[in-house]
């Protein structure tokens, strides 16, 4: 998405399996300053999303071996480097308290994916990238041709 001179990539369900793909995007479109990135690197089993479409119930081993997944810390960093991002926001985590009622999730800081997100945020910040995990809501504001994020609510 373009916002003035800025370019923003939304990559919730993307995994950087090959850095060259994102380098090609940057070569065609130019640097992408901000990346919204998903990091459910363990992912849901096949049946969680696709069960209604399957003609027969899949066996557990098969079901568990066909998991969806997004980026871990290393592949997320590769993606940011490939597009020359200056900002990164981890989103689409399902951590907001109102989601527990229909997602049956109550994530904690000890969850493997939270550890991976914290590893990513620390590594990105060490590289000079403004990285953070979103929670609740942030609003995007444009002032003088540049955009900035402000916390819109506290949860």
Q: Given a cut of 60, is residue 121 above it in pLDDT?
A: yes
Average pLDDT of the segment spanning 14-37: 90
* pLDDT tier at 153, thresholds 50, 70, 90: very low
Portion of the chain with pLDDT greater than 70, in percent: 68
How many residues are there in the chain?
A: 155
Using CA atoms, how far apart are residues 93 and 107, in angstroms rounded to an integer? Answer: 9
Residue 30 DSSP symbol? -
| pLDDT mean over 7-25 | 87
pLDDT at 28 over 90: yes
The whole-model pTM stands at: 0.75
Instruction: List, in order of start, the domains of the chain with CATH numbers.
Output: 2-43+69-151 (3.40.50)
Q: Which pLDDT score is estimated for 6? A: 81
Provide the mean pLDDT of the chain.
Answer: 79
Most confident option among 81-90, 94-103, 143-152: 81-90
pLDDT for 99 beyond 60: yes
Q: How large is the average pLDDT for residues 100-129?
A: 82
Q: Which residue carries 């540049």 as its tokens?
A: 146
Q: Give residue-wise pLDDT tens across range 49-95.
A: 677 777 888 777 866 666 666 788 999 999 999 999 999 998 866 66
- Tracing tokens 């997100």 back to the chain, one arrives at 117
């Amino acid at each position: 998405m373009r916002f003035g001179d800025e370019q923003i990539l939304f990559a919730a369900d993307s995994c950087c399996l090959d850095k060259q793909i994102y380098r090609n995007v940057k070569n065609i479109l130019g640097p992408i300053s901000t990346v919204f990135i998903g990091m459910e690197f363990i992912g849901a089993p096949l049946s969680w999303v696709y069960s209604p479409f399957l003609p027969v119930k899949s066996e557990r081993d098969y079901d568990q071996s066909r998991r969806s997944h997004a980026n871990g810390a290393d592949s997320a960093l590769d993606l940011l480097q490939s597009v020359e991002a200056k900002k990164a926001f981890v989103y689409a985590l399902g951590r907001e308290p109102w989601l527990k009622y229909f997602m049956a999730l109550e994530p904690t800081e000890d969850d493997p994916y939270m550890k991976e997100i914290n590893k990513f945020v620390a590594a990105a910040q060490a590289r000079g990238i403004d990285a953070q995990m979103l929670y609740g809501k942030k609003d995007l504001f444009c002032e003088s041709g540049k955009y900035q994020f402000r916390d819109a609510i506290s949860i």
